[in-house]
Amino acid sequence: MAPATPQQSTEKAQSAAPAHHAAPVVPHSAPKVDPAVALAVRRAKPPRAKFWRPLLRMVIFHIYFLPLTVGVALPALILKNLLPFMRTHPQWSFLQALSVSVVRWAMHNFIALRLQPIAPREGGWRESPNFLAALLVTLNLSGPGGFAAVRRPQKVVKAAKKQTHGHDRVWMDAPPLEYFRGLLTIHSGSSSAMVRSPTYTGPPLVDPSWAKARTRAFWFMRKAGEAPPELDGSKRDRPVILYFHGGAGVTFAAGDIFMGQTLARNLASTTGIDVFSVDYALAPHGAFPIPVTQALAAWLHLQSMGYAPDQIFLGGDSFGSHLSLALERYLRLEMPALHGEGHSQKPLGMILLSPWVSAVDQHWPSREDNIKYDIITRSFPIWGLDAMRVGPKHKHRNGTLANLENPWISPVNQPKEEYAQHCPAFVANGALECLLDEGKEFVKRSRSAGAAVEYVCVALEPHDFFTMSTSVQASRGVYRKIGTWARKLLDNRPYELA
């Protein structure tokens, strides 16, 4: 009996998949796939993230961090921030000053331990619809939990149980092999293989196993109680935000208390736009550009669900903004070869919150000036870049991406002609964040090239304040402006907003 071809294997997997799994969007006249790549993919097994080392780090974190924080650090931070003149910034309220101090303390420990949530496993214990699953998700820092458990334990468990079961959680297939091109080219094992595309020249970076990887995402609906859309063949009558969370590419999760319950849920309810948030693989397991392949998988998934490209906003905070810009660049420069010049794959717009658009420190005075006010430390992006295996330290892996000025690593350095082709963007910064200057520079270069950009800078707020419960009102102020901006883009179109 002849072995199944990659196409037959894909069709068999699709026919056996549950109804809510998306079928891939295949180009009508796709270029032929390299037979060596197809063979390597057929032989490969899906990638598996390490389990025991992250588990050990998580156990150590819970054993020492919580008692130390509650018994020593928290009382000390409360005393430090009681009086205005003792606070890092005298104009902060007590709650804001305490919140920044606590988050900074937590981030210091996250970075010191290299703490990451344990990668999700489809159909695993944490996806069971029971209390144990909710508890495991909470302890893993990958779902509802944290300080909210002290204030609203019943709601936290209910949210965690909902997250582990039902249509608000989706698993997606990897893109078809035709889409693994340019920066996303799969290596077939040949040491002499090289990729030469308009935006990337170097060795193939994607292991064949990632062509069999499935990616998890969560729906955060614009209205409480509203059911997420399903794969039913219908066209969609309203837009969606395809969202990527922050965390320097190495930590946090799409459904956790910060990125999911605080940021994404409020973004959806305030703008009136559903949010589809991708739980992409974290580095070093998902070293660059693996998150871009998973972002592409989510883009194709939404199209399979009936969303047109001009109904989809790309959005993200911090590293998620970086990922949004990388996906936008891939869609703009690689899709014409797959779909033809007349086939638009341009998003409706981009929402970039506290964007990380430069991997280089020395160009940006705000990285030094605001470090004492911010929730992140200098070592956070260093950890991220090292885990993503880019920069001079990893020149042996890839000489092209060893240069941190490369536009794939520092999107602010895209050529002016590329800026001119960007879809409309909404950019927001906190006035006290380290990434303030690069956000402003991105806006300046966009406008200089003729791209349409709305910009908001919120006074007294640190990096990624959208994830902080004490800054929810400031975040909602930004989200309302995003909603107004989105309505302008949707003017004269038959899509509805809440």
pTM for the structure as a whole:
0.91
Q: How far is CA 326 from the centre of its chain?
A: 11
Q: pLDDT truncated to tens, each residue of the chain (498 aa)?
A: 333 433 333 333 333 333 344 445 556 556 788 999 999 999 999 999 999 999 999 999 999 998 999 899 999 999 999 999 999 999 999 999 999 999 999 999 999 999 999 999 998 888 887 778 888 888 899 986 433 333 445 555 566 555 544 568 899 999 999 999 999 999 988 766 899 988 899 999 999 999 999 999 999 999 988 999 988 888 999 999 999 999 999 999 999 989 998 999 999 999 999 999 999 999 999 999 999 999 999 999 999 999 999 999 999 999 999 999 999 999 999 988 887 766 668 999 999 999 999 999 888 999 999 999 999 999 999 999 999 999 999 998 888 899 999 999 999 999 999 999 999 999 999 999 999 999 999 999 999 999 999 999 999 999 999 999 999 999 999 999 999 999 999 985 655 555
**Structure confidence at residue 238 (pLDDT):** 93
**Structure confidence at residue 198 (pLDDT):** 83
**Structure confidence at residue 234 (pLDDT):** 86
Residues found in the chain: 498
**Structure confidence at residue 14 (pLDDT):** 36
**Structure confidence at residue 8 (pLDDT):** 39
**Structure confidence at residue 335 (pLDDT):** 87
Q: Which residues contact 107 (CB under 8 A, 6 or more apart)?
A: 375, 376, 377, 380
Rounded CA separation 252/318 (Å): 12
Ordered structural domains, the chain, with CATH: 50-118 (no CATH), 129-164 (no CATH), 168-489 (3.40.50.1820)
Q: Could you tell me which of 305, 248, 316, 312 has the C-alpha nearest to residue 277?
A: 316
